Amino acid sequence: MTKTITTPYDSAEYLKTEEDIALYFAVCVEEAGDDANFIAHALGIIARARGMTQLAKDTGLGRESLYKALSGQGNPSFATILKVVHALGLKLEGKARATQAA
């Protein structure tokens, strides 16, 4: 019997362009619902694709604290999320949800 060799899948490896990153973030925001950790984790993936060291410099936050906050297991403040979104060149947009028919 032959062994199947697998490698870990890392979404960050596929975020090559600004358009890739913007679309990925938009889909994650749409799919997250009320799950703030999902958004933090998505930002962590984008940060790794861009370079965590540069993000730390751009936000003024420590690299290790960014890894923890954006792991999906951390609990970053909204201020941290806003700093990261801004430093990554992304934008949070609000819009009304589609109402469900009664």
pLDDT tier, 82 (very low <50, low <70, confident <90, very high otherwise): very high
Residues 6+ apart with CB under 8 A from 39: 28, 29, 32, 81
- Domain coordinates in residue numbering, the chain: 34-90
State percent of the chain over pLDDT 90. 75
Residue whose C-alpha is closest to residue 32's, from 42, 20, 44: 42
Task: Tell whether the model's pLDDT for residue 102 goes beyond 60.
Answer: no
CATH number of 34-90: 1.10.260
pLDDT computed for residue 92 by the predictor: 86
First-last CA distance in the chain:
57
What predicted TM-score, i.e. pTM, was given to this entire model? 0.85
The per-residue pLDDT for range 29-80, each reduced to its tens digit, is 999 988 999 999 999 999 999 999 999 999 999 999 999 999 888 889 999 9
